[in-house]
Amino acid sequence: MAAEDGIAVPAPAKINLYLHVTGRRDDGYHLLDSLVVFADVGDSLEAAPAPSLSLSYGGPFADALPPPEENLVLRAAHRLADAVGIDAGARLTLDKRLPVASGIGGGSADAAAALRALCRLWDIDPTRADVLDLALGLGADVPVCMKGTPQRMQGIGETLTPAPGLPP
């Protein structure tokens, strides 16, 4: 959806219908098997053209967030710009409606929303391999949150398979 002066995207809560740790790699990463769905509630993020990258907060849980320069959203934005060689900026505004550290993927959903919004704003294909690698580098849940549809998540979060039809 387009906001008045930018692009607004949802960052829905992520729900693991099941989550199994199936092993551990030599590098310490846990191997996962999870069925992930998304709720009708969540945060939202707006990206608007600007000369540099910035992040501001609003919403009922904004006070629980770290300073913007430490937030995963701004880290995702900087990494995307670096990965694709973009010199443009963006004014990011996060409406934080999900509780922080509540186990529903709020930070990952927010980072994925930032990547989706910036890909639209900067005309980048979000399915590019470097964008998907960047998403995984931000956290195991970020790739599935970029999809935003029911998925079976395996490996360290990099293997996604669309879930079969699920009841509403």
141 is a catalytic site residue = yes
At a CB cut-off of 8 Å and minimum separation 6, what does 91 contact? 6, 47, 48, 49, 50, 54, 56
State both tokens at 149: 């549809």
- Catalytic site residue from 14, 43, 96, 110: 14
Structure tokens at 34: 């999870």
DSSP class of residue 104 equals S
Distances (CA, A) of 48 to 6, 29, 122: 4, 35, 10
Which H or E element spans position 33? strand 30-50
63 assigned to active site = no
List 82, 95, 141, 147, catalytic entry: 141
Q: Where is 108: in which H helix or E strand?
A: helix 106-121
Candidates 122, 123, 148; CA nearest to 135 is 148
> Annotated active-site positions, please?
14, 141
